[in-house]
Structure 1
Amino acid sequence: MSMISAQQAWEVLQRADCLHSPGRVEAALADMAARINQTLAGTDPLVVCVMTGGVVPFGQLLPRFQFPLQIDYVHATRYGKKLHGGQLQWISGPHQDPRGRTILLIDDILDEGTTLAGIEARYRAEGARELYKAVLVVKNRPRQFDVKVEFAGLEVPDRYVFGCGMDYKGYLRNIAGIYAEAESK
């Protein structure tokens, strides 16, 4: 992958198509949190941030949860600094024993599904009692793995998207809305 500068990333944002405004993202997060509160209340869950993209939705959802919980994180990636995924690489975690626990994985996007499927398989193999997945964005595309997401926020077309935790070549995870690289005209 060719590296880009911060200025080049900013220029991509200026030309990008806004798929979901910050307001729509906030409404989706509120809706997700309400459904998660209803489902996980009383389960003493271990809420797991899927790094790195999941850090933004995780941080925005966590204060909305109205039940006692513990947190953890995992960092498994297929992308690194590339645009297309390869073999799943475990960088860190899990750090807390999931045996007998209700697990909620929070990630930024369900794209191909390989990373989330691999993380789910590991938690199940390590004895999680129940496992739920929450993603801010579901990309409308065919998937190699049939990954069921119990709590999804928004849908996007099969385009290169960024913002709200999703990056553009390492930049723009901090952008409040969800954007797609401008289509060639």
Structure 2
Amino acid sequence: MIQLHDKTFEPFISSDEIGFALAEMAKHIEDDFQDEVPVFIGILNGSFMVLSDLLKQYKFMCEVEFLKLSSYEGTESSGKVNELIGTSKSFEGRSVIVVEDIVDTGNTVEKLKAIFKSHNVKSFKVATLFLKPDVYKKDIKLDYVGIRIPDKFIVGYGLDYDGLGRNLVDVYQLAPQLPKGEFPS
């Protein structure tokens, strides 16, 4: 168990499971892009570890860019996606692979698809380490999915709770919280 701010989290997914999922994703992307140089777009802040370890497994040439978007406040999605830092690079005619740490509602993916459609990309693909299929209701295909998880709030491996937990190599889920003043039996 770990404590981040006022919440307790329990172990959920090991770094070994994450490494296996990323190696599999890299193989699938290699199969699709072995004859071209795609641009991997990391979505900050959460995807920095995912993108780094995914590209360590990817055997071919590629380019890397970053965008910063925000949609979470505490443990809840705000429902709005704000573009905080964009890119001035042209992606026209290029194959783009957006790399996400987690996809839940799909609002960020929807915003990203609109952004890259305006750039006239050759192809738009989405790679995510984690997917919450019970929450994802968009009609946008997720091309590379590492691990499907239930609708639980998780931290670690780039994911945070109010700024803490991104550096954890394993993933933790929010533990059941006791009402204030109660103690476990």
What's the TM-score, normalizing by structure 1? 0.87
Q: Deviation digits for residues 35-62 of structure 1, max 9, x if unmatched?
A: 1111111221111111110111001111
Larger radius of gyration: 2
Matches of residues 79-158 of structure 1 in structure 2 within 5 Å? Answer: 79=72, 83-158=76-151
What CA RMSD, in Å, does the superposition of the two structures yield over aligned residues?
A: 2.0
Contact 1:136 1:152 survives alignment (8 Å): yes
Identity value in percent = 23
1:16 to 1, 9, 27: 9
Unpaired segments ≥5 residues, structure 2: 179-185
Q: For residues 31-42 of structure 1, what are the structure 2 equivalents within 5 Å?
A: 31-42=24-35
5 Å-filtered alignment, 1:41-60, equals 41-60=34-53
Assess, with a 3 A threshold, how the Cα gap between structure 1 residues 17 and 107 changes in structure 2: closer, same or farther: same
Q: Which of structure 1's runs of 4+ aligned residues deviate more than 6 A?
A: none
**Aligned equivalents of 2:176 and 2:101: distance in 1?**
22
Once residues 38 and 27 of structure 1 are traced to their aligned partners in structure 2, the CA distance between those partners, rounded to angstroms, is 17
Q: CA deviation at 1:16?
A: 2.5
Higher strand share: 2
TM-score, normalised to structure 2's length?
Answer: 0.87
Structure with the largest fraction of helix:
1
Q: State the SS of the aligned residue for 2:76.
A: coil
Q: For residue 121 of structure 1, give the secondary structure of its aligned residue in structure 2.
A: helix
Query: What displacement does 1:29 show?
Result: 0.9
CA 1:8–1:179 in structure 2 vs 1: closer, same or farther (change >3 Å)?
A: closer
